[in-house]
Amino acid sequence: MPGPAGVGGWRGAGAAWVLLLSQLGVQLSLASSFLTGSVARCENEGEVLQIPFITDNPCIMCICLNKEVTCKREKCPTLSKECALVIKQRGACCERCKGCTFEGNAYNSSMKWQVPARPCVTYQCQEGVITESEIQCVVYCKNPSKQMGICCPTCPGCIFEGRHYKEGEEFQPEGNKCIKCSCIHHLVACL
């Protein structure tokens, strides 16, 4: 089965190279304007093509599109200003920030996350290093209740405008006798 013109027997290879290189944004000298030939052709629609000296660059991919060799250059995303350690893997086109792996999950640099089993701990990936910070809870009552998945224990009742109210207690905010509030399930509801 014949390959693209130029890959099996490079008929009109000069113009194909000029066309491919100009599509990729390669600056061509005046000497190259004297090359003649035709567009590189191919048979298998959608096939990824390997073209020496062009697809050796991991940022360039050529495919057979409408029976012609079409090459595109990958555009790399802009890296975050917070990225302090840039890496480029062999065979990859774009540079990226060094990330982290934690309990089988991949995280990008500068990303923060929490694990349900430890709700008081925040993890952060920074250029391949995972840091953890723990929340310190301040509890104002004697018998706080601990709830699953919530970091800090809660006290029974409510706090409204700096005052503590018991669960089920009704009260009126200072200075407004027309409003009646109540403490229900740690929340203040006013009517």
Name residues whose C-beta falls within 8 Å of residue 147's C-beta, 6 or more positions apart in sequence: 153, 154
Domain boundaries in the chain?
A: 40-75, 86-134, 140-190
Rounded CA-CA distance 174/15 in Å is 86
**Angstrom distance (rounded) from CA 52 to CA 9:** 13
User: CA angle, 142 as apex, 136 and 145 as ends, to 5°?
Assistant: 65
Q: Per-residue pLDDT tens, the chain, 191 aa: give them.
A: 444 444 433 333 333 444 444 444 444 444 445 545 568 889 999 999 988 888 888 999 999 999 999 889 999 988 877 777 888 888 889 988 888 999 999 888 888 999 988 999 999 998 889 999 999 988 877 888 888 888 888 877 888 888 888 888 999 888 788 899 998 887 888 88
